[in-house]
Structure 1
């Protein structure tokens, strides 16, 4: 991977990973010509209650099951192995040092962009890589939108919007469905569904 020209980093808790994540990653790969997309599960997301997050080992295994069939997808344990909270700027600096000649894209959803100003060293982070923001079809990122107005100019220079099919799938909904005994088939890969049921997760 050392000689690749473009790399996507897809961070998240993936609790659990589902088809919405996979479609976003594949659309980003195709649209921006990414040679690899690295899925980067967080250990301790600063904006979430870590007591409500599934054990990292289970989440890593589910991501592996979900992406094993796509040779362009890779799994990184960087944030799981690192001590302390998972900060995006630390991970981007790591990948920049490892791939100094590679164009790095951080893939995220609109919900992450809305709280970008609360991220660690967000103003410096904004200039370290490009950002692919996945949105629903028809949504336009407007710099004059009050909820986005405080984002630094360098971030706007590095933002790339990606409209993906509007699948209404969320990890929180899947967890709730499992707790209530509802079906989750076709919301995530069958191997992940089987793993959740076999291990008794989210009950």
Structure 2
């Protein structure tokens, strides 16, 4: 089985994520795409993130109508910060016969040489870096047989913009799936009150969290299409 793995905070998940997953699945002949909401993302230290269960359930709602999509709890059920290496090791254990394709933003892929356990990553999965049309892509310094870059005709949607719109009282219809809009409204996510009081403050949870990247290797250069904090336009996002 050819299994795509799309990790992200998904706070909230939006149509850009879904289009990217669908296009990559078609282009690379993937049998399934597994969405993996992060548990305690090390990139979000000092930032307020919605509870993992809300992010997981929004992802379930958003992907339910596509039989090729499914959602995994592997990261949110694992204690401690979320690292790509740990995600892929766990998924390899769960799907020993599967060939894994890790889908991420091209800008995040540009930092992969400094990620935790980078040499092991190449053995665990093939990496697909996605970007919006018009953004320069480069895989300089990355193993060509392990990395593929591709443009995705997705709309310029970001999770950050969606959160800001809700906080400002603006609609997010047609930016995120209908069921996710209803979930956000029902649970009061991203309102000024929620932003001020609830959610998970990862600076408090992980005061000494170790970044995924090591300090020595220089990252490959990729013209940013999104913030590297989250794969696939999660936080330009």
| TM-score, structure 2 normalization | 0.76
The equivalent residue for 1:55 is 51
Unaligned runs of 5+ residues in structure 1 are: 144-148
- The CA RMSD measured in Å over matched residues stands at 1.6
| TM superposition shift of 1:19 | 0.1
Q: How do 1:2-81 residues align onto structure 2 when only pairs under 5 Å count?
A: 5-49=1-45, 51-81=47-77
Distance 1:142 1:80 in 2: 32
Deviation per CA, 1:67-118: give whole Å up to 9, x if none. 0101111110011100101111111112222323321100001231132233
| Matches of 1:159 and 1:19, distance apart in 2 | 24
User: Would you say how many aligned residue pairs link Structure 1 and Structure 2?
Assistant: 191
From 100, 104, 110, the equivalent of 1:114 is 110
Stretches of structure 2 lacking an aligned partner (at least 5 in a row): 192-237
Question: Which residue is 1:167 aligned to?
Answer: 155
Q: Residues 59, 43 of structure 1: CA spacing in aligned structure 2 closer, same or farther, 3 A cutoff? A: same
State the shift of 1:52 in Å.
Answer: 0.8
Q: Secondary structure at the match of 1:60?
A: helix
Matched position secondary structure for 1:17: coil
1:142 equivalent in structure 2: 138
Displacement of 1:51: 4.7
- In structure 2, distance between residues paired with 1:77 and 1:166: 26
Q: Structure 1 residues 139, 15: closer, same or farther in 2, change over 3 A?
A: same
Shifted more, 7-16 versus 134-143: the winner is 134-143
Cα gap change, 1:50 to 1:91, in 2 (>3 Å): farther
TM-score normalised to the size of structure 1?
Answer: 0.88
Give how far 1:49 is off: 2.2
